[in-house]
Structure formats: structure tokens, C-alpha cells
Amino acid sequence: MSRESFRTVVKALITYRGEILIGKKEEEEGHPISGEWHLLGGHLEYGEQVEEAIEREVEEETGLEVDVHQTVDVMTFAWSDGEKDSLQIVFHCESEEKDAEALDDLSEVKWVEPGEITDFVHSEEAERLEERKDQAQFLEKMEKAPF
């Protein structure tokens, strides 16, 4: 498989005092999550370390600096038949501030409660958050944590 047919995506479960930050993708024709809420992140650039990539993506999309704490989940997926396959790495990141901005390719950002996140994000991401054991356990722990 060539580099052109496979990519690595880094995603962030960004927390601040018990809430998780999500972003709404700008309307973009042909993009699989155009106009939808999602976990923030993007593509790993060639030669980049994964932790550097998630820090860069979060800062580009929100202006926030985050601490990368742990890998929550690693999986492969494709949006639909004929799309590029992707390796997706989901990290727990923490922000020391709540003042996120919608930058780069986002039209909005907002903080949500862990138990409400699947009500907002697009269906495929909601399904992964509910059905992938490590992601579901992370959200469950977040819901029970005292803040």
C-alpha cells in the first residue's frame, strides 16, 4: 500500500474541568464531516511525531496549548468505500484554559459534558465513542470524575 492510499489521523479528547471540547467543521463540499461536530485533530505530517501532531492540530484549530496525557484508542477506519484507509490515534489532552477559538477549518467550538458528546458529534464518531471499549471507558470515567 502506498503513502497516498493510507494516512494517519490524530484526534484529541480535550478536557477542561470535566468538559470536552468539540469543533464544527466548516461547510466544505465533498468532505465527509462538512458542517458536523467532531473531535478535534487532523493528519500526521510526514516525519512528525504523533504528540507534536496533536499539539499542532489543536493549536491551529483552537489557539489552545494542551498537555498530551495518554493514548485513549488506536484503530483503523475508512469513511466509505473507495476512501483512503486511515489509522486513527485518539489522545486525552488537557487544557489549562477554556478560551478556545474556532480557527483553521472550524466554524464553531464548544465545551460539552462527557455524557452529552455523542448527541453532538457526527454519527460515525458517536458510534466509535460508544462502541470502542477504550473510548467508552474514558467517557465513563470522565462522567464520574469530581470537578
Domains (ranges, CATH) in the chain?
3-144 (3.90.79.10)
- Tell the burial category of 22 from Cβ atoms under 10 Å away from its Cβ (0-12, 13-18, 19+): buried
Segment 135-145 shows an average pLDDT of 94
**Range from 37-41, 76-80, 133-137 carrying the lowest mean pLDDT:** 76-80
Segment 2-29 shows an average pLDDT of 87
Residue 28 grid cell: 466544505
**What pLDDT shows up at residue 81?**
60
Closest by Cα among 14, 6, 13, 29 to 100: 14
Kindly state the percentage of the chain with pLDDT values over 90.
76
Phi, then psi, of 132 in degrees rounded to 5: -80, 120
Does position 30 have pLDDT exceeding 90, yes or no?
Answer: no
Phi, then psi, of 87 in degrees rounded to 5: -95, 125
pLDDT-based confidence at 7, cuts 50/70/90? Answer: confident
Does position 2 have pLDDT exceeding 50, yes or no?
Answer: no
Does position 103 have pLDDT exceeding 70, yes or no?
Answer: yes
In the block, which residue shows the cell 473510548? 135
How far apart CA 88 and CA 43 sit, in angstroms, is 9
**What tens digit of pLDDT does each residue of 74-94 get?**
998 776 665 668 899 999 999
How far apart CA 147 and CA 144 sit, in angstroms, is 9
Does position 60 have pLDDT exceeding 50, yes or no?
Answer: yes
